[in-house]
Structure 1
Amino acid sequence: MTDINRGRRAPSPPPPFPGSHEKNITWPYWWNAPRPAVRPPELPTYAEKHALDRDHYEMCTAINRAYEMLDQQPEFIRRSVMGTITSLEHTNGAKRANMYLTKTFVERIFPRLDLVNAQYRLEARTLDNVNLFWSFNKLADLGRKETDHLAEDIAQFIALELGVISESSAADNLNDFKTALAMYRRAAEITRGFRQPVPTKGKKNLTLEDMTPVISRMFSPKWWQNRLRRYSAMWREHLRIAFGQVSKKDTPYASKNAVGDWREQKRRTREFLKGMELEDEEGNRISLIEKFDHSVANPAIRRCELMNRIRGFENICEQQGYVGEFYTMTAPSKYHATNKHGHRNPKWEGASPADTQKYLRRTWAAIRAKLARDGISIFGIRVAEPHHDATPHWHMLMFMKPEHVGAVREVMQGYVTKEDEHELVNARARKARFCVEAIDPEKGSATGYIAKYISKNIDGYALDDEIDDETKKPLKDVAASVSAWAARWRIRQFQFIGGAPVTVYRELRMMADHETAIGLSIEFAAVHDAADFGHWDEYVNAQGGPFVRRENLIVRNWYETNEALSPYGEEVIRIRGVYTPLVGIDCPIITRAKQWKIVRKQAVDLGLSGVDLKGAPAPSRSSVNNCTGPGIGPQDDGTGSSMAMPLTIADFKAMTRKERRRALKRIRQETRELRDARRPARADFGVDPEMAARMRDAARTALGFELSLGEIKFLLSGHAMKIGDEYFSGRSDGEIYSAKPPTDPLKRFEKLKRRYGPPPESERAAILRQYFENLKPEDGIDHSQI
């Protein structure tokens, strides 16, 4: 069709069909524009609804089952799980929180907790534990007082059972040995029923004298208190390891509770030592805390003695042409609760650090026996320290003859890699299980190889710039956690192998009498002089060398039995001196001439006769004896001294209001002046040397931290200082206590503003407020009504 047809224009095309395309229309207001029609809701089908109901029912069932499993755990585990659930619910929603409960806890965490609980709780009720079954299985939740009550109940039950046996034995006319044997068997049966070892001290064939103290312990409430306290603490720590709270992701080596308990125990021990004294037969007394600080119980002295002994071994090695080897022994994967990245190890079989230590001891006993059969002798030191998940491993510095190096390596590697050898698929895995490093004198001395591990396991001395390989934290900060780990699991951290005994070395240093030593024998004098000068290498050589047997020692300890028996009725054997077999045991040298006993510190005698009371406590101040008006308070007698005058109580009721305000103002002003006069100036603020020494000792012993004078002043001023991950403050008694972290003023203000401030306005209210604020008065709007 053309545009022009016979002189006429073609008609316009028809309008488009309605809805064939969108109309480009600009509406005056957005709310005038048409909106799409509302579609009806799509109702689920019967099959879909049934599937949704089934999934909902299964989820509810799984949640209920998970909560039932959670209720079986101790309170601190339930609190940790519920805290995680609440946090996930706030951040990721209820679905994510339920997934953590039904999947992570039920499938991954609960089996690990169940492995641990099965090692501590009672599984079956018997006639012996039916009354105490519930209380014993709640030990992980019981406090100190409840644990002591349970110990008393168990001890009382054993005492009643032994009473029945005693009566029946008397009726049957049994002799003492048979009666004691029946009592021992019954008490041991009950003790093992409560998962406690019988205190036989390793003896197998017990005599009547041996069974009596063992039976006395098993029905003693004090013995059961110590056992159950230790048992419950290990149970809680083992559960935290299984839960994952002891790892490089949370707290390495030991949990926060274990470190806190260790520090509190150190503090209580020092408080006890400060309140006690040592008294001899003549009544002379010395301070117990001073003797403690000057003994090997002091971490600094203990570290110095260990380093001196290691250096002595190295000198012997250099003198006699021996070589040194550094070994590292690690347990198989099934003993580790988490892997090196801090994740749960699926191969873990529920072993505790104490179980791993027993495995390492068994392995070392087999190695030592094999070397003895082959005629190979070694000497040195081994250090037990934890991985980040509290699993122990050993570092060993050993010295030997050069021709024995290959044999020792082969024997040790064979026994260490014997268990679960299928895991060692490559060289990296074999090195992780057993590592050997030859001591190279060009790289450093043998003492330098082991010095870091000794300092890390005691107080972190001289490790300010060292970083832990596993946790990537400063080694000085983790020293307290390592000490708490060793105390919680009762693991011996340091053990010397070979050489002469250190107890004889310490007794000879107490003697310090060359004339007496030379009078006994020349050999004895050589051993004594070497120990007196602190030369460990000369002492070992004088005793017979690093491979000397105990029966060939030149000097030995001399023991004596005390007249008084122990609380359990057994003889107490203590060291009294030393002797040499060359002269005979009948000629000992007494190094402990006095017998000391621990007594409570005496109170200071405040007798008035012949005592200068200058500086004595003054009477308490009040609004009466503080007044300086006529007839009130101290007066000048003309000699320059203050003389107490008879006090006259002012009649405040007779005063006018103006006079009372003037008197109150004068009292406050004088009180302020007196307080400012007694308070030292800020620039002259000093610290008592004894106070500073006490605080340094407390920080060094309990925290493993060396305080400076500025830090001591800061603590005494009432402020809290952060040491490691916790805050501490000082007091006037010279001790350091845990403190709460300081509150950020801005955070506190925001918290108070959210709690007591006006509620936040909504978006709609903000728009309306801005709209009305922009209106003008001529618009006819009454702003006061709005």
Structure 2
Amino acid sequence: MLNPTPQCLVWREELFKGVSREDAERLRLCLDDLDKKKGHVEANTWLRGVIERLTLLNKISVMRPHVEKEAERIAKRSGKHGNKKALKWLKTVVKRLRYCDTLITDLTGEELAAWAEKKSAHFEKTFFAIGLSDGKEKAKSFMAEALALAGAEFRQWDKNEKVIAMAARMITPEWWKRQAKKQWRTVENILRECGEVHNGASPYLSRWGLNKFRKQQEANEAFLKGWEAENQHGQKFTLEDLASRGVSNPFIRRGELMTRIRGTEELAVELGHVGYFLTLTAPSKYHAVRKSGSRVSKFYDAGCPTPRESQAYLVKVWAKIRAQAKRDGIHFYGIRVVEPHHDATPHWHLMVFGEAKQLTSFIKTFKDYAMEEDPNEKGADDARYDVRFMNPAEGTAAGYIAKYICKSIDGSHIEKDLETGKSAADMAENITGWARRHGIRQFQFFGGVSVTVWRELRRLKKDIDQKIQPIYEAADAGRWKDFTKLMGGFCAGRNQTLKPYYSDTEENQYGELVASIKGISKGIETFVTRFYDWTIQRVGAGSLSVSGSLSLGAAEPFPRTRVNNCTPPSGGGNYQPTYQ
């Protein structure tokens, strides 16, 4: 074997200047071994690839241990093209982390607030300076660069009022903090690519992601305890108290979902309809890790699709199924639940009702579109979808889907999570954190009637207008079946008896025209369901008298946006916080 020439050794030392001392020492040892076994030419070829990889890794700080380990794994497992594949993946990681590596993974609390203050002040100063000196087009270009760096999407450049509103957001520290927290999604996705999210490591959500979720929950709890809402009658309630009475409370959320599912099933039985329980899963290239713990090579070949991209695929498939059903004149209704596989890839469970003959055709359409992408991959027929007829003799439809509802909220009434074999209560925290981190809506009804109208009616407690009395009584008593029938039945669409009623548009703090919900409407008649003006302030900040004067305490209160100004119900009336 040829020993390295003096020129070769000088060339190597020049390359070593771009890496750390520790990395340089490690590389010298590896080169000595390669020089003896394969010669200096092949050793130099190897060094070029490794140096480029280390140069990229040096641009990463907090995430480096995970990323370096994964790059080495890709290089070893990808044969003669291993280095190229590792470099290609590394470049995408560096690009994605250029904004959020140290800042987003390390900064929290006061440090993150100070960073956001600095970013917003810099944007405001530079944006207006460019606008005054170079014109609005140059200012818009600067704004576009800032948006891209923050990972925020904005497409309405042709609407001047929207551009102004976005700029108004970007001069507030709150906007930058929100964008920073959204970048946690990028970190989570990269950790998933590094094999940190699966049944053998941390199911559904990485340990880092779970820790972030817990800290955010603690911060949210502290905020809700430290702030209160006060109405024009001087009544005060902490935000924690108000939040506990709505669907953000897991107990109430689960109860409302099960009430609607039970009512939907009761209506189906009354109409003589049948039901199917369906499962829809994405192709293998959307899955990062197998149950065994081994990696899915198609996932990396496809560019490492994120959970949001997998969800977008499922949404697209479902849109095609619904469009074909509409063309065929098929009417159906039900609910879909989104939950993650152990490696964070989403899949859907659907409970679908309709006429037996129509659903036979619907199921064929469902299977066809489920298999449209990558239809020939091994095991697709078994893994891509599942269809089960819901036999009333074997149990209620609600029973089919109840475990998925409970598993995805708080794990109550379930001992073990079958996907992972772990405690359902523990895994419910991971699943909730997964949904929040990736911004995935977990539950959605289709083909039914407006739940907004249902919730608005349940706000009313007295002086109910006779025109809406029957629908109000059904909603107030929790009779979803009767409520649906009185609203026009399933698939009523725009022909529903009652609709949400919104206030006239008003400017918000960013200069945008927005409307807030005010009540419900029946034709041209409107029925107000919200009677109070609320001011949000720190606990102990002061008090608003009935006349509206403000007594300041520890901090200035600020008005909550999107709250209508309505006359209270007859008799004045104090606000009684109840489940809405």
Same fold (TM over 0.5): yes
Q: Which range moved further: 497-506 or 337-346? A: 337-346
- Residue 76 of structure 2 corresponds to 103
Is 1:351 matched with 2:305?
A: yes
Separation of aligned partners in 2, 1:116 and 1:416: 33
Closer, same or farther: CA 71–541 of 1 in aligned 2, 3 Å = same
Percent of matched pairs sharing the same residue: 31
- Using the TM superposition, give the Cα deviation of residue 408 of structure 1 relative to its aligned residue in structure 2, in angstroms: 0.7
CA contact (8 A) 1:183 1:215 kept: no
Is 1:190 matched with 2:145?
A: yes
CA displacement 1:538-576 (0-9 Å, x = unmatched) = 1011000011012x121122211476x423122342112
CA displacement 1:725-769 (0-9 Å, x = unmatched) = xxxxxxxxxxxxxxxxxxxxxxxxxxxxxxxxxxxxxxxxxxxxx
What is the SS of the residue equivalent to 1:194?
Answer: helix
- Residue 500 of structure 2 corresponds to 557
What is the SS of the residue equivalent to 1:347?
Answer: helix
CA contact (8 A) 1:241 1:337 kept: yes
- Using the TM superposition, give the Cα deviation of residue 229 of structure 1 relative to its aligned residue in structure 2, in angstroms: 2.4
Is 1:445 matched with 2:419?
A: no
Separation of aligned partners in 1, 2:113 and 2:93: 19
- Residue 493 of structure 1 corresponds to 442
Separation of aligned partners in 1, 2:453 and 2:93: 41
CA contact (8 A) 1:507 1:578 kept: yes
Mind listing any 5+ residue stretches in structure 2 that lack a counterpart? 1-32, 544-580
What is the SS of the residue equivalent to 2:406?
Answer: helix
Which letter does structure 2 place at the counterpart of 1:540?
Answer: T
What is the SS of the residue equivalent to 1:381?
Answer: strand
- Identify the structure with bigger relative contact order (alpha carbons < 8 Å, sequence gap 6+): 2
- Using the TM superposition, give the Cα deviation of residue 485 of structure 1 relative to its aligned residue in structure 2, in angstroms: 0.3
Which letter does structure 2 place at the counterpart of 1:165?
Answer: G
Which letter does structure 1 place at the counterpart of 2:443?
Answer: F
Which letter does structure 2 place at the counterpart of 1:455?
Answer: C
Is 1:546 matched with 2:490?
A: yes
Is 1:594 matched with 2:515?
A: no
Closer, same or farther: CA 379–595 of 1 in aligned 2, 3 Å = same
Q: State the structure with more CA Rg.
A: 1
CA displacement 1:705-728 (0-9 Å, x = unmatched) = xxxxxxxxxxxxxxxxxxxxxxxx
CA contact (8 A) 1:578 1:589 kept: yes
Separation of aligned partners in 1, 2:158 and 2:48: 55
Separation of aligned partners in 2, 1:420 and 1:268: 44
CA contact (8 A) 2:121 2:171 kept: yes
Closer, same or farther: CA 146–556 of 1 in aligned 2, 3 Å = closer
Separation of aligned partners in 2, 1:444 and 1:601: 50
Which letter does structure 2 place at the counterpart of 1:602?
Answer: G
CA displacement 1:289-334 (0-9 Å, x = unmatched) = 2111111110111001000000010001000011111111111111
- Using the TM superposition, give the Cα deviation of residue 282 of structure 1 relative to its aligned residue in structure 2, in angstroms: 2.9
CA contact (8 A) 2:502 2:515 kept: yes
- Using the TM superposition, give the Cα deviation of residue 62 of structure 1 relative to its aligned residue in structure 2, in angstroms: 8.5
Mind listing any 5+ residue stretches in structure 1 that lack a counterpart? 1-47, 86-98, 123-132, 170-178, 606-786
Aligned residue runs from structure 1 range 292-303, under 5 A:
292-303=243-254
Which letter does structure 2 place at the counterpart of 1:143?
Answer: L
- Using the TM superposition, give the Cα deviation of residue 55 of structure 1 relative to its aligned residue in structure 2, in angstroms: 8.3
CA contact (8 A) 1:74 1:140 kept: no
Separation of aligned partners in 2, 1:236 and 1:447: 37
- Residue 64 of structure 2 corresponds to 78
CA contact (8 A) 1:249 1:342 kept: yes
RMSD: 3.5
What is the SS of the residue equivalent to 1:279?
Answer: strand
What is the SS of the residue equivalent to 1:225?
Answer: helix
Separation of aligned partners in 2, 1:153 and 1:111: 35
CA contact (8 A) 2:113 2:177 kept: yes
Is 1:576 matched with 2:530?
A: no
CA contact (8 A) 2:407 2:417 kept: no
Separation of aligned partners in 2, 1:398 and 1:525: 30
- Using the TM superposition, give the Cα deviation of residue 186 of structure 1 relative to its aligned residue in structure 2, in angstroms: 2.8
- Residue 287 of structure 1 corresponds to 238
Separation of aligned partners in 2, 1:157 and 1:562: 29
- Using the TM superposition, give the Cα deviation of residue 100 of structure 1 relative to its aligned residue in structure 2, in angstroms: 7.2
CA displacement 1:601-631 (0-9 Å, x = unmatched) = 12899xxxxxxxxxxxxxxxxxxxxxxxxxx
CA displacement 1:40-78 (0-9 Å, x = unmatched) = xxxxxxxx9984584899499489649716734744443
Which letter does structure 2 place at the counterpart of 1:553?
Answer: Q
CA contact (8 A) 1:500 1:548 kept: yes
Alignment equivalent of 1:318, drawn from 256, 269, 272? 269
Is 1:371 matched with 2:337?
A: no
Q: Which range moved further: 187-196 or 322-331? A: 187-196
Q: Which range moved further: 408-417 or 296-305? A: 408-417
TM value normalised by structure 2: 0.78
- Using the TM superposition, give the Cα deviation of residue 152 of structure 1 relative to its aligned residue in structure 2, in angstroms: 4.0
Separation of aligned partners in 1, 2:87 and 2:178: 25
- Using the TM superposition, give the Cα deviation of residue 271 of structure 1 relative to its aligned residue in structure 2, in angstroms: 1.4
- Residue 777 of structure 1 corresponds to none
Closer, same or farther: CA 299–75 of 1 in aligned 2, 3 Å = same
CA contact (8 A) 2:335 2:351 kept: yes
CA contact (8 A) 1:324 1:399 kept: yes
- Residue 369 of structure 2 corresponds to 415
- Residue 262 of structure 1 corresponds to 213
CA displacement 1:682-703 (0-9 Å, x = unmatched) = xxxxxxxxxxxxxxxxxxxxxx
Separation of aligned partners in 1, 2:92 and 2:141: 24
Is 1:386 matched with 2:328?
A: no
Separation of aligned partners in 2, 1:392 and 1:110: 30
- Residue 332 of structure 1 corresponds to 283
Closer, same or farther: CA 192–105 of 1 in aligned 2, 3 Å = farther
TM value normalised by structure 1: 0.58
What is the SS of the residue equivalent to 1:291?
Answer: helix
Separation of aligned partners in 2, 1:160 and 1:603: 35
CA contact (8 A) 1:509 1:528 kept: yes
Which letter does structure 2 place at the counterpart of 1:491?
Answer: I
- Residue 143 of structure 1 corresponds to 107
Separation of aligned partners in 2, 1:400 and 1:573: 36
Alignment equivalent of 1:68, drawn from 51, 54, 66? 54
- Residue 550 of structure 2 corresponds to none
Alignment equivalent of 2:509, drawn from 561, 567, 570? 567
Q: Which range moved further: 153-162 or 358-367? A: 153-162
CA contact (8 A) 1:147 1:228 kept: no
Which letter does structure 2 place at the counterpart of 1:422?
Answer: N
